[in-house]
């Protein structure tokens, strides 16, 4: 599994991650433009495209944000090139302004938008269900359940996009994106990259006034034709078991439903939907007519349930429908086979084969004595040092911290519990602007460099224009660290290592009109406190930039250069057990030795940022000599 499998010549088979299968499908479809912003669970799509880009002739950008990414792909597809972008559903919120207009104007070259939901909010601020983007924008939407299907859907989506001149959504979820399986490989019949002539009349892609009204009529007709085509789509299939009990499911829900039926020992008829907008209403109606009971298995909102209920009104008004509205399934969190077994058993009056509730209760009881393990910053993470210095600088100062999306979002978790608001990418500045009007306390906003480039600049412009009294702390760790150290506009390279012009934060900010800029090195943790405290006492808007590379990124580069990564150790002869290194710094490389109860540094975790050494009042933390 990995890039080598994505690059294999077809025909053949390979074992790969679903996100890699999506890339493979795009390569087989001869994609020519790729633009995306990293965000789990789609990050591997961007990373795979980036890693293999030197071997192909497509053009690729790691964009500033999702809106720019979708617009870049739109521009290429308007000319006639095939393009692909990927994003999580909260990223689609950022892109939606252009996305809705794009459905009106349409495209010429095929355009595929991979949009991933994150049930359980594993790596997102909300459990947003992105499926309504399809019907709300009249954009066709396909939904795979496994890597093989995802690859085939990508190829079909490009063809569908060009046939009807419309972008196509490929909606996934975390458990689909990160699923692995056998994928059938076809030949990559790629044509050389070549610019195309613009062969459109003036105003072809302009949606305003009369043209917008005309586009609306056209997209309604287009949707009717696509629905007719979806009635016989290969991605919708019925497993007719001759039962009067049926299940309708899509995506990961289909996988859970099949497993749950097997566990319960039942054989319901199953309608698997792969085209989730426009829905094949005739196919659904025909399926419902044969049933007495239908159960809808879908994560998050009752999207399918709403449409099935409406279709059943005419197709089979007596049918019993079980789903979220009946209380048999929850709208919260992601599903698993156990939860679906429980829902099916309750709906059908079956005995549970296993009392999962009792098992979970016992597991909860067994782990009651174990300490909680919260997500934490990596050893050497500059954000840990920045937060330590900021807490020291604000000691005795009543203040509010409006924070943002990134690794530093973990500041709100134990043991720090530091931070008062977090909404979305770049929101810290707008929220802080409102706070400084309403609150008596000092207002601090905190944002990472990648998030600043993504969506923070408009908020800073607003703060400068209105003279807002706030201090913005920018954590400049050189890369988009949380999603895997992808480059951002502050770096001198882009996807695939291609050269790019770096933007310097303080120069951009000065050009915006702020000269009160304080730059600190968080690894010099004690030296950073005084200038930070002074900056916080001055009237805003002003800026503190805490600059030090992401530890994982820096260590990766050291290994590439063949450099040895030094580590620290605790001199037990000097250590007096003040525990300052663990009580206030919380580095996971530091623990307490069971024997002498002194601090102990795990060699394999430490990367010798030296912050703990600077904080130790006895100087007991030193470099491991001769290792």
Q: Is residue 213 part of a domain?
A: yes
Q: Is residue 370 part of a domain?
A: no
pLDDT in tens, 248-258: 999 999 999 99
Q: Is residue 411 part of a domain?
A: yes
Domain boundary among the residues 176, 196, 230 is at 230
Predicted pLDDT of residue 381 = 95
What is the span of the domain harbouring residue 360? 237-365
- The CATH number covering residue 354 comes to 3.40.50.920
Q: What is the largest CA-CA distance in the chain?
A: 83
Residues 308, 403 within the same domain? no
Q: How far is CA 397 from CA 444, 519, 537, 538, 580, in A?
A: 11, 21, 9, 13, 22
Predicted pLDDT of residue 1 = 61
Predicted pLDDT of residue 237 = 96
Dihedral over Cα of 361, 363, 366, 371: its sign? negative
What is the bridge-based pairing of β-strands 320-322 and 471-476? unpaired
Query: The whole model's pTM is what?
Result: 0.94
Residues 213, 144 within the same domain? yes
Q: Is residue 197 part of a domain?
A: no
Predicted pLDDT of residue 371 = 81
- Cβ(170)–Cβ(150) under 8 Å? yes
User: Which residues make beta-bridge pairs with 181?
Assistant: 16
Residues 261, 224 within the same domain? no
pLDDT in tens, 291-346: 999 999 999 999 999 999 999 999 999 999 999 999 999 999 999 999 999 999 99
pLDDT in tens, 530-565: 999 999 999 999 999 999 999 999 999 999 999 988
Query: How far apart are alpha carbons 504 and 543 in whole angstroms?
Result: 14
Predicted pLDDT of residue 231 = 98
3-state secondary structure of 302: coil
Higher pLDDT, 469 or 585: 469
Share of the chain above pLDDT 90, in %: 90
DSSP state of 592: E
Residue 376 CB burial class (10 angstroms; 0-12, 13-18, ≥19): middle
375 pLDDT band (50/70/90 cuts)? confident
Give the mean pLDDT of 466-487: 95
Could you tell me which residues come within 8 angstroms of residue 243 by beta carbon, excluding any fewer than 6 positions away? Answer: 266, 267, 268, 269, 291
Task: Name the average pLDDT for the chain.
Answer: 95
- The CATH number covering residue 618 comes to 3.30.70.20
Predicted pLDDT of residue 360 = 87
pLDDT in tens, 178-201: 999 999 999 999 999 999 999 999
- The CATH number covering residue 169 comes to 3.40.50.970
Query: How far apart are alpha carbons 474 and 562 in whole angstroms?
Result: 31
- Please give the tally of structural domains in the chain: 4
* Least confident range of 115-119, 387-391, 563-567: 563-567
Q: Is residue 172 part of a domain?
A: yes
Residues 125, 143 within the same domain? yes
Could you tell me which residues come within 8 angstroms of residue 464 by beta carbon, excluding any fewer than 6 positions away? Answer: 512, 513, 514, 541
Give the mean pLDDT of 439-464: 96
Rounded to a whole number of angstroms, the distance between the first and last alpha carbons of the chain is 35
Predicted pLDDT of residue 373 = 81
* Least confident range of 110-124, 379-393, 532-546, 573-587: 573-587
Residues 323, 439 within the same domain? no
Domain boundary among the residues 330, 365, 400 is at 365
Predicted pLDDT of residue 369 = 81
Helix spans in 144-269 (H): 147-164, 174-177, 210-230, 251-264
Q: Is residue 435 part of a domain?
A: yes
Residues 361, 438 within the same domain? no
Residues 359, 407 within the same domain? no
Residues 295, 150 within the same domain? no
Q: Is residue 156 part of a domain?
A: yes
Predicted pLDDT of residue 627 = 56
Predicted pLDDT of residue 194 = 96
Residues 49, 152 within the same domain? yes
Residue 525 confidence (pLDDT) above 60 = yes
- Cβ(554)–Cβ(527) under 8 Å? no
Pair of tokens at residue 339 = 């939860």
Query: How far apart are alpha carbons 170 and 589 in whole angstroms?
Result: 41
Could you tell me which residues come within 8 angstroms of residue 267 by beta carbon, excluding any fewer than 6 positions away? Answer: 241, 243, 261
Residues 522, 609 within the same domain? no
Q: Is residue 198 part of a domain?
A: no
112 pLDDT band (50/70/90 cuts)? very high
Domain boundary among the residues 511, 541, 558 is at 558
Query: How far apart are alpha carbons 46 and 128 in whole angstroms?
Result: 21
Pair of tokens at residue 372 = 């909680």
Residues 535, 582 within the same domain? no
Residues 56, 176 within the same domain? yes
């Amino acid at each position: 599994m990995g890039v080598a499998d994505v690059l294999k010549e077809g025909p053949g088979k390979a074992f790969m991650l679903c996100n890699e299968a999506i890339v493979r499908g795009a390569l087989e479809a001869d994609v020519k433009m790729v633009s995306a912003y990293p965000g789990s669970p789609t990050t591997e799509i961007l990373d795979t495209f980036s890693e293999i880009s030197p071997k192909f002739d497509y053009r690729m950008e790691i964009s500033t944000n999702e809106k720019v990414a979708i617009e870049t792909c739109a521009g290429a597809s308007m000319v006639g090139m095939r393009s692909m972008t990927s994003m999580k559903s909260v990223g689609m919120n950022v892109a939606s302004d252009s996305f809705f207009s794009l459905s009106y104007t349409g495209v010429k070259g095929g355009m595929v938008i991979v949009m991933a939901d994150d049930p359980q909010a594993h790596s997102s601020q909300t459990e947003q269900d992105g499926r309504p983007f399809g019907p709300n924008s009249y954009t066709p939407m396909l939904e795979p359940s496994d890597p093989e299907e995802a690859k085939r859907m990508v190829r079909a989506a490009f063809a569908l996009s060009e046939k009807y001149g419309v972008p196509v959504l490929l909606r996934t979820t975390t458990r689909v994106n990160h699923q692995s399986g056998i994928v059938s490989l076809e030949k990559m019949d790629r044509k050389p990259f070549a610019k195309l002539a613009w062969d459109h009349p003036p105003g072809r892609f302009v949606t305003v006034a009369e043209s917008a009204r005309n586009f609306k009529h056209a997209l309604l007709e287009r949707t009717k034709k696509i629905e007719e085509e979806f009635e016989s789509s290969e991605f919708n299939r019925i497993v007719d078991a001759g039962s009067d009990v049926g299940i309708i499911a899509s995506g990961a829900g289909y996988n859970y439903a099949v497993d749950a039926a097997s566990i319960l020992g039942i054989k319901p008829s199953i309608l698997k939907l792969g085209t989730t907008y426009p829905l094949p209403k005739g196919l659904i109606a025909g399926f419902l007519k044969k049933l007495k009971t239908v159960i809808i298995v879908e994560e998050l909102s009752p999207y399918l349930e709403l449409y099935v209920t409406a279709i059943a009104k005419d197709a089979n008004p007596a049918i019993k429908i079980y789903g979220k509205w009946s209380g048999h399934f929850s709208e919260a969190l992601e599903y698993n086979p156990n939860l679906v077994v429980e829902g099916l058993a309750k709906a059908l009056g079956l005995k549970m084969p296993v009392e999962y509730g009792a098992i979970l209760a016992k597991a909860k009881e067994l782990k009651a004595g174990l300490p909680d393990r919260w997500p934490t910053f990596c050893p050497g993470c500059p954000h840990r040092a920045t937060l330590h210095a900021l807490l020291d600088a604000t000691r005795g100062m009543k203040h509010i911290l409006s924070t943002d999306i990134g690794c530093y979002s973990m500041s709100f978790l134990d043991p720090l519990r530091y931070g008062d608001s977090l909404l979305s990418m770049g929101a810290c500045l707008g929220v802080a602007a409102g706070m400084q009007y309403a609150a008596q306390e000092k207002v601090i906003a905190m944002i990472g460099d990648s998030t600043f480039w993504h969506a923070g600049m408009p908020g800073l412009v607003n703060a400068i224009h209105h003279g807002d009294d706030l201090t913005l702390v920018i954590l400049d760790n050189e890369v988009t660290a949380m999603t895997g150290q992808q480059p951002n506009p502050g770096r001198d390279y882009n996807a695939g290592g291609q050269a790019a012009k770096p933007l310097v934060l303080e120069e951009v900010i000065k050009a915006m009109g702020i000269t009160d800029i304080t730059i600190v090195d968080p690894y010099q943790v004690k030296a950073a406190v005084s200038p930070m405290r002074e900056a916080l006492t001055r009237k805003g808007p002003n800026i503190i930039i805490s600059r030090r590379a992401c530890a994982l990124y820096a260590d990766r580069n050291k290994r590439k250069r063949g450099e040895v990564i030094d580590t620290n150790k605790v001199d037990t002869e000097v250590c007096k057990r003040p525990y300052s290194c663990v009580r206030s710094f919380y580095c996971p490389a530091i623990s307490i030795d069971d024997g002498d109860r002194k601090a102990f540094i795990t060699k394999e975790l430490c990367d010798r940022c030296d912050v703990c050494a600077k904080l130790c009042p006895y100087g007991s933390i030193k470099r491991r000599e001769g290792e």
